[in-house]
Homo-oligomer: A and B are copies of this chain.
């Protein structure tokens, strides 16, 4: 395969660094700043980066030459002095975000800024098979590309999968709701499209999307819980980055043990959050008894308090039907949760509903190739 997921090998921490890496780091720093705000003036970049004006000048020239950044003439700014150039990420480069679910697969063209440019939905009456869906994704990509300018360059494809994904090589280990077992999806899709492919778990990518664009923007320590048709998943942002664990399977927050109950979740485990809080219960109980709602709130709150004590996050986000529960009984959930969170980690904790809608996971998936590009601008652009 051409590229695998971004390697954040820890040996690189201890490694020596030379001037080339300084330049790469500073280019990445500017791109990261630009990806956080839609657009920034050069003088804002000077201030935010801490780099000298002359250095920013050189870096911006290089980024423009790489085609990653475009500078527009200054807006009407009623300021004294020479107006500063306005820079933003180029729209000559984009990525594809793909979200595979059991009944449909969404393929979207996404700009470097995270805006969805065009999208296509593949519906699958039967469960999608890897080979078949790859063919359909390939066709969808061709279709979406043909409607775009021919100068558009594609940096890669990010794919969200409802299951356990080994990030190192993009292997789908197990996706129960697709009935996929050990599918080397990234290398298959790379072979078909000749583009770098990055895979991620759907709930984890929901977390990164909320972190990049949604309710968790600006926070560094985030716990995200998502309740969907395929159970309860999650994602955790630690030090501003997704918690991956040894092989990328971290964040299975639905499978924490919460109770002595013998009820089983989708993986056959008993007493877990996912087992306790089934979507069907929740949907059924919308008009159900307040007792049922209270019970759900207690369970959700127990999970929230565990995660607060474990991670000491700044913010805990609830998405999917967990967000619905929260909407119905915010005070109850928060109240029950605070009963079992230690004083210190409870202090500045925010518990909120997730913000982004249905495009959330797609945006998270698109974020994979985007951040790969941002982290290594020179190397990535060369291949483009």
Q: Which A residues fall within an 8 A CB radius of B?
A: 8, 10, 13-19, 21-22, 25-26, 29, 32-33, 36, 48-51, 55, 164, 166, 173-174, 220-221, 236, 238-241, 243-253, 255-261, 267, 269-272, 302-303, 305-306, 309-314, 339-340, 342-345, 347-348
Measured CA separation A139–B249 after assembly (Å): 50
Chain B residues positioned under 8 Å from A348 (CB to CB):
246-247
Measured CA separation A342–B245 after assembly (Å): 14
Pick the contact of A240: B13, B261, B312, B340 (CB < 8 A). B13
Given the known A-B contacts A18-B22, A33-B14, A260-B260, are A343 and B173 also in contact in the complex, defined by CB atoms under 8 Å? yes
Given the known A-B contacts A259-B259, A311-B245, A345-B245, are A19 and B22 also in contact in the complex, defined by CB atoms under 8 Å? yes
Interface centre among A33, A259, A270 (most CB of B within 10 A): A259
Q: Let me know if A311 and B250 touch, CB within 8 A.
A: yes
Pick the contact of A260: B249, B259, B311, B344 (CB < 8 A). B259
With A18-B51, A252-B345 already in contact, 20 other A-B pairs whose C-beta atoms are closer than 8 Å: A14-B36, A15-B49, A16-B26, A16-B29, A17-B26, A18-B22, A21-B22, A164-B343, A174-B343, A221-B246, A239-B241, A245-B312, A245-B313, A248-B312, A249-B312, A251-B310, A257-B340, A258-B258, A259-B259, A259-B260
Q: Let me know if B25 and A17 touch, CB within 8 A.
A: yes
Closest to A261 in B: B260
Q: Let me know if A246 and B312 touch, CB within 8 A.
A: yes
Q: In the complex this chain forms, how many copies of it are found?
A: 2
Chain B residues positioned under 8 Å from A302 (CB to CB):
257, 271
Measured CA separation A313–B248 after assembly (Å): 10
Interface centre among A13, A174, A245, A272 (most CB of B within 10 A): A245
Q: From residue A11, how far is it (CB to closest CB) to chain B in Å?
A: 9
Q: From residue A180, how far is it (CB to closest CB) to chain B in Å?
A: 13
Measured CA separation A344–B32 after assembly (Å): 32
Q: Let me know if B306 and A256 touch, CB within 8 A.
A: yes
Interface centre among A261, A339, A344 (most CB of B within 10 A): A344
A–B complex contacts, Cβ < 8 Å, 15 sampled: A14-B32, A14-B49, A15-B29, A16-B49, A220-B246, A221-B246, A238-B238, A246-B313, A249-B312, A249-B342, A251-B312, A256-B309, A271-B302, A272-B340, A306-B306
Q: From residue A195, how far is it (CB to closest CB) to chain B in Å?
A: 26
Q: Let me know if B258 and A257 touch, CB within 8 A.
A: yes
Chain B residues positioned under 8 Å from A270 (CB to CB):
340
Q: Let me know if B164 and A344 touch, CB within 8 A.
A: yes
Pick the contact of A342: B17, B246, B252 (CB < 8 A). B252
Closest to A312 in B: B245
Q: Let me know if A166 and B344 touch, CB within 8 A.
A: yes
Measured CA separation A33–B13 after assembly (Å): 10
Q: From residue A51, how far is it (CB to closest CB) to chain B in Å?
A: 4
Closest to A314 in B: B246
Measured CA separation A305–B257 after assembly (Å): 8
Q: Let me know if A250 and B22 touch, CB within 8 A.
A: no
Measured CA separation A377–B153 after assembly (Å): 44
Q: Let me know if B311 and A243 touch, CB within 8 A.
A: yes
Measured CA separation A203–B260 after assembly (Å): 27
Measured CA separation A25–B164 after assembly (Å): 36
Chain B residues positioned under 8 Å from A339 (CB to CB):
269
Q: From residue A7, how far is it (CB to closest CB) to chain B in Å?
A: 12
Q: From residue A241, how far is it (CB to closest CB) to chain B in Å?
A: 8
Pick the contact of A22: B22, B49, B173, B238 (CB < 8 A). B22
Closest to A33 in B: B14
Pick the contact of A55: B16, B248, B303, B310 (CB < 8 A). B16
